[in-house]
Amino acid sequence: MLVGRHYRVAGQVQGVGFRYFVQRAAHLEGLSGFVRNLEDGGVEVVVEGEADAVERFERQLRLGPPLARVEQIEVTVEPPAGRAMGFRIRG
């Protein structure tokens, strides 16, 4: 079953390789979407893919790379767009 999620991640998540970590985790799970830094110091992540893959991805997102410190994640369930668009890092 295809699902979509929108995440807002807060903590020490900029300048620590977080976006590249997220991109790699998404690629490993075959997810589509994007990740980008936010002006408030957080990171936004939008993904879609198979439900099991999104669950595994979210567990990795909560851990983050070694230099990151994930303090809070807001999760919003979104309907999947249903199109394969790859996973990108945006500005």
Asked if the structure places residue 19 within a domain, the reply is yes
Kindly report the pTM of this predicted structure. 0.94
Catalytic residue among 37, 59, 62, 88: 37
From 44, 45, 50, 46, select the one nearest 30 (Cα to Cα): 50
Asked if the structure places residue 60 within a domain, the reply is yes
Asked if the structure places residue 47 within a domain, the reply is yes
Asked if the structure places residue 86 within a domain, the reply is no
pLDDT of residue 75: 98
CATH number of the domain where residue 55 is located: 3.30.70.100
pLDDT of residue 84: 67
Catalytic residue among 19, 59, 69, 90: 19
Low-confidence ranges of the chain (pLDDT < 50): none
Q: Give the start-end residues of each E strand in 40-86.
A: 43-50, 69-78
Q: Is 8 a known active-site residue?
A: no
- What is the number of structural domains in the chain? 1
Q: Is 37 a known active-site residue?
A: yes
Asked if the structure places residue 48 within a domain, the reply is yes
> Which domain does 56 fall in, by range?
2-81
From 49, 41, 77, 75, select the one nearest 61 (Cα to Cα): 75
Asked if the structure places residue 88 within a domain, the reply is no
d(CA 7, CA 52): 17
